[in-house]
Amino acid sequence: MQTIFRGRHFINLEDFTKEEIETMLDVSMDLKRKFAMGIDTPYLPNKTIFLMFFEQSTRTRNSMEAGIAQLGGHANYLDTSTMQISHGESAKDTAVILSRFGHGIACRNCFWQEGNKYLMEMAKYSSTPIMNLQCDLYHPMQGLADLMTIEEKFKDTRKLKVSIIWAYATTHKKPISVPVTQVLLFPRFGMDVTLAYPEGYELPDWVIAQAEENAGKHGGSLKLTHDMEEAYRDADVVIPKNWGNWVTNPGKEVIDSLLEANKAWKCTEKMMQLTSKDCIYMHALPADRRNEVEDSVIDGPHSVVFDEAENRLHTAKAVMTLIMGGK
């Protein structure tokens, strides 16, 4: 078990070894058991974390706020539109000052080609850990909770067939950070990953190259397909979720001809019938129930979305405990 975490930034799971990620999961499970038993876990007494949000949030904000409270600390929620950032204050100046005020800074900035750069700039100047609450490229908190959920349901992740599938949605042009994180992470735990999407919704080439390298090192695999049914067939885990065509079209328009041409990419009862008998349906939420998935699937026996969402609390607590705590 790796134990050297204190003071490290948590921006991308690629920055942590497989053994370190396993430690995070061990701590997450311990915290989950204690939460279920009503055992207090005051591991971060009087510690303060600043939660900076450039965008809306439900699970991420509340898992962090509730999590730090349950650890004995306090969260300051910061809507960046009400900060001096909105008047042009730099990432450097914000990071220097907030890190002198407390013990950690967590930030969500999903603006394409800006978010990750902003976090890395903060990390360069902060004297406390920077935690990524989702950027344009990565969502490590979600990835950790997804991995925890899969391990809970299957125990052994080796050779599991996991399909990350693009799905039609119109709510907003969503980041690519969730599928990027999943396609990089899951092969490291021996999973056979299928990435399915219509042409035009590619992930960056460097992501695919890194995912293939991860698969080669750890006994997993990665397959790309534009055939939705192929991805569902015999899958043990399906994750049908929309992401925007940022790589091929950096414009901010939500609905375009490419999106409308792919309305058929939807998780339905018919698609789920192609999967393995014990297949689970996952989604980071919120799901576009009108378009991404039928209610009978997301509310049905295959769905584990609420278990997955609850695990956001326990993994957030584990990350904060390991990175902000210790001797």
**pLDDT tens profile 75-122:** 999 999 999 999 999 999 999 999 999 999 999 999 999 999 999 999
Residues 279 and 161 placed together within one structural domain of the fold: yes
Domain annotation covers residue 8: no
Residues 275 and 197 placed together within one structural domain of the fold: yes
Give me the residues paired with residue 195 across strands. 164, 224
3-state secondary structure labels for all residues of the chain: CCCCCCCCCECCHHHCCHHHHHHHHHHHHHHHHHHHHCCCCCCCCCCEEEEEECCCCCHHHHHHHHHHHHCCCEEEEEEHHHCHHHHCCCHHHHHHHHHHHCCEEEEEECCCCCHHHHHHHHHHHCCCCEEEEEECCCCHHHHHHHHHHHHHHHCCCCCCEEEEEECCCCCCCCCCHHHHHHHHHHHHHCCEEEEECCCCCCCCHHHHHHHHHHHHHHCCEEEEECCHHHHHCCCCEEEEECCCCCCCCCCCCCCCHHHHCCCCCCECHHHHCCCCCCCEECCCCCCCCCCCECHHHHCCCCECHHHHHHHHHHHHHHHHHHHHCCC
Residues 281 and 163 placed together within one structural domain of the fold: yes
Domain annotation covers residue 148: yes
Residues 78 and 154 placed together within one structural domain of the fold: no
pLDDT value of position 255:
95
- Average pLDDT rounded to a whole number, residues 170-187: 97
Q: Is the pLDDT of residue 125 over 80?
A: yes
Domain annotation covers residue 70: yes
Domain annotation covers residue 221: yes
Residues 161 and 292 placed together within one structural domain of the fold: yes
Residues 124 and 43 placed together within one structural domain of the fold: yes
- Average pLDDT rounded to a whole number, residues 6-10: 97
Q: pLDDT category, 310, cuts 50, 70, 90?
A: very high
CATH of the domain at 238: 3.40.50.1370
Average pLDDT along the chain:
97
Q: pLDDT category, 3, cuts 50, 70, 90?
A: confident
Domain annotation covers residue 1: no
In 3D, which of 120, 146, 124 has the Cα closest to residue 11?
120
pLDDT value of position 1:
75
Q: Each residue of 264-294: pLDDT tens digit?
A: 999 999 999 999 999 999 999 999 998 999 9
Q: Is the pLDDT of residue 152 over 90?
A: yes
Q: Each residue of 34-69: pLDDT tens digit?
A: 999 999 999 999 999 999 999 999 999 999 999 999
Q: pLDDT category, 2, cuts 50, 70, 90?
A: confident
Domain annotation covers residue 3: no
pLDDT value of position 326:
63
Domain annotation covers residue 2: no
Residues 318 and 293 placed together within one structural domain of the fold: no
CA dihedral sign, ordered 325, 105, 59, 263: negative
Query: What's the number of domains the chain is made of?
Result: 2
Residues 79 and 33 placed together within one structural domain of the fold: yes
Residues 228 and 111 placed together within one structural domain of the fold: no
Query: Domain span at residue 236?
Result: 141-308
Residues 127 and 244 placed together within one structural domain of the fold: no
Domain annotation covers residue 6: no
Residues 282 and 320 placed together within one structural domain of the fold: no
Give me the residues paired with residue 74 across strands. 48
pLDDT value of position 327:
55
Q: Is the pLDDT of residue 222 over 70?
A: yes
Residues 132 and 149 placed together within one structural domain of the fold: no
